[in-house]
Amino acid sequence: MLRKRPYIFSQLFLSLGLGNLSQLLFADGWLFFVPYLLLYLYFKSANLPISTLHDIFIVLHIINLILFLVYLYKNQKRQHIKLTEILFWVFLAILFLQPGAYLEFPADPWEHFRRIFSWSNYSFIEDNPINRKFTYFWGWTLMSQVQPLYRSIALDIYSAFWQLLLAYQFYLLALRLGFDKYWAKVQVVATIFLFGTNLFGFYRYYALSSTPLAYIAYLRSIIVLINAKHGQVKQLALLIPLALIMYYNHLQELLLLIISSIALFVDYITNQKKHIRTILSIVVIIIIIAFLLGTYVVSNPQVIPTIPSSRLTLPYVSQWGTFRIWDFKLAYFETISVHGLISLLLAVLFLSKHKTIAILTLTPSLLMIFPPFVLAFLVVLNRTDNYVTYRILYAFSLNFMLVLGLREILSSLITKLKLYLPRLNLILSVFILTLIISIPPTYPYRGRFWFQVYKPPAELSFKSIDTTAQWFFVNRQLDTKCLLMTDGANDFTLKTHFALRVLTRLNVYNPSESLTSDDALKNYIKHQNICRILVAIPDKVNPPPVSLVGQLSGHWDASLVNKNLMASQEFVKLTDSLMNTGWTKTFVPPFYWLYENPTASGSNNKAKK
């Protein structure tokens, strides 16, 4: 009887149509998000309450979990998945889970953390300024009931989920580009350890943001376009929901799709051997006109009033109207780095043999030195600076060409030297070489292996703030009526848990340095309507170390946490004087004094000093 149960269950799934539905939703790793997005957009347009949508999403999460288990069961029965396949994805899951979500302060993931939990402060979708980024709401519905003490664990799992889903989409793209399952896995690992900017790996750094889902939709769009190029034109209909996902998460990916569409169009027209000379003649004429146009616009910026003249100058834009991608001091090279340069050279070397991948590799860089594209991009970007223009290079991960090129070179050497190397050994050799290239995080190498596995010190990731936030969650009600004053780092990390207004992350704010007298402190409290002050106890808190990531990347002051957090004994004495006017003093774990005005709402004056 027990042996028949799997058969009975499979028949039940089949009769309900769950097997086909689960295959449709999960096989390509993105379609199951569409029902969520459509509901989100309906509630947004109808101005319906978030609380109702939250409950609907919870139901959808449960349904999708059941359908996903059905998908795994049906797939295992249909394909007889090998143990090595399972072990590969388990290995990746461990790789993403082990270091946890990257939450070193003041890195961008803290802003993504804040955006996720900011939804608890709104009643309607339109009220939230970030309502165009649907993924934050989706993530909030998963974690909204998690108490502060356990949120870092929840974020670790959430981060690993997005990284795993992104890896799966890269795997599907590698398969569509012609790699077999073994080489596709090598390509996936290469994207994890090489794709990104500066020393930051794309996977882990953006895992808490709205970017992964948009990028997954973008990668799927490339697969759809390749399929259409090979005759599966009906698949183009999928671009509609994919474009919606990109638009309501991260607009950048729609721009990247234009770049890859150009690349695939070039790939298609260059297959027309009869017209190749005509095509080359037209390309030469277009290039000449393009550079004349670029030079003219840079000299006369008033002809495009939507682009401020300051954005058509050095260091990012050249006198010809191109991005200065050749300048090794700019963010462009921080994204390409040494292994990227090797990939670009390999793309030129193997252009005729592996045309599609080579053109996808070269197109982003070539468009950055094509003035009409640069000018159009600056108009669409509509920003006050050109720093983020390096993200054009995210259009195609350069590691695809690197792995392919290394494979070709090693195979060629083996043939010339008349050696015998089993296929598995060749795969392992390329994998090891790729891994070696990805290890050094320093300029100009910028491998991202180190960042992917790096665990910042607990002091810099503010692990202790979970305990502090839990204490406030249980004992105090933080709100906008009773303002809390603390240093810049504690202000951002603590208030993120409670969806309150925060100070700027990258600036140092230490009250003990600016409020040095009794009068200065009292005047500040009066004018800023402060009723609570949180101070790190100098002799109980360990001085935070210098940030290694801050040092190596140059993205923030490596001593920023220390400069924010460490209060002087004199400031503690100053705040102690407030008790003479009725304020109370309470210990807050793990190492803070909380001073409170008697009018502070939710104040509990037990456990005074």
- Per residue in 50-95, pLDDT (tens digit) is 999 999 999 999 999 999 999 988 887 666 677 888 899 999 999 9
Query: Would the pLDDT of 35 be above 60?
Result: yes
Average confidence (pLDDT) over 576-602? 91
Backbone angles phi, psi at 185, to 5 degrees: -65, -40
| Pair of tokens at residue 361 | 């590799």
- 165 neighbors 156 (Cβ within 8 angstroms): no
- 293 neighbors 318 (Cβ within 8 angstroms): no
**pLDDT-wise least confident of 125-139, 302-316, 538-552:** 302-316
| Mean model confidence pLDDT for the chain | 93
Query: Would the pLDDT of 609 be above 50?
Result: no
Left, alpha or beta for 178 (phi > 0: left; psi -120 to 50: alpha)? Answer: left
Q: Give residue limits of the domains in the chain.
A: 257-396, 463-596
Kindly report, residue by residue over 206-217, the tens digit of the pLDDT.
999 999 999 999
Task: Centre a 10 Å sphere on the Cβ of residue 110 and count the other Cβ atoms it contains.
Answer: 22
Query: Would the pLDDT of 605 be above 60?
Result: no
Question: What stretch of H or E contains 585?
Answer: strand 584-588
Question: What stretch of H or E contains 282?
Answer: helix 276-299
120 Cβ contact partners less than 8 Å away, ≥ 6 residues apart: 140, 144, 499
What burial letters (b/e) apply to 442-477, b meaning 16+ CB within 10 Å? ebeebbbbbbbebebeebbbbebbbebbbbbeeebe
| Residue 576's pLDDT band (cuts 50, 70, 90) | very high
| Pair of tokens at residue 448 | 């991202």
In this prediction, residue 204 carries a pLDDT of 98
Query: Would the pLDDT of 14 be above 70?
Result: no
What burial letters (b/e) apply to 573-599, b meaning 16+ CB within 10 Å? ebbeebeeeebbbbebebbbbbbbbee
Distance CA 570, CA 568 (A): 5
Query: Would the pLDDT of 5 be above 70?
Result: no
Query: Would the pLDDT of 607 be above 50?
Result: no
Distance CA 212, CA 245 (A): 11
Closest CA to 479 of 508, 461, 499: 499
Place of tokens 């050749």: 326
| Residue 419's pLDDT band (cuts 50, 70, 90) | confident
Distance CA 534, CA 586 (A): 10
- 248 neighbors 213 (Cβ within 8 angstroms): no
Query: Would the pLDDT of 404 be above 60?
Result: yes
Distance CA 454, CA 449 (A): 9
Residue 430 half-sphere exposure toward CB, CA atoms < 13 A:
27
Q: Which residue has the higher pLDDT, 122 or 277?
A: 122
In this prediction, residue 12 carries a pLDDT of 53
The amino acid present at 320, given as its one-letter code, is W
511 Cβ contact partners less than 8 Å away, ≥ 6 residues apart: 485, 486, 487, 524, 533, 567, 571
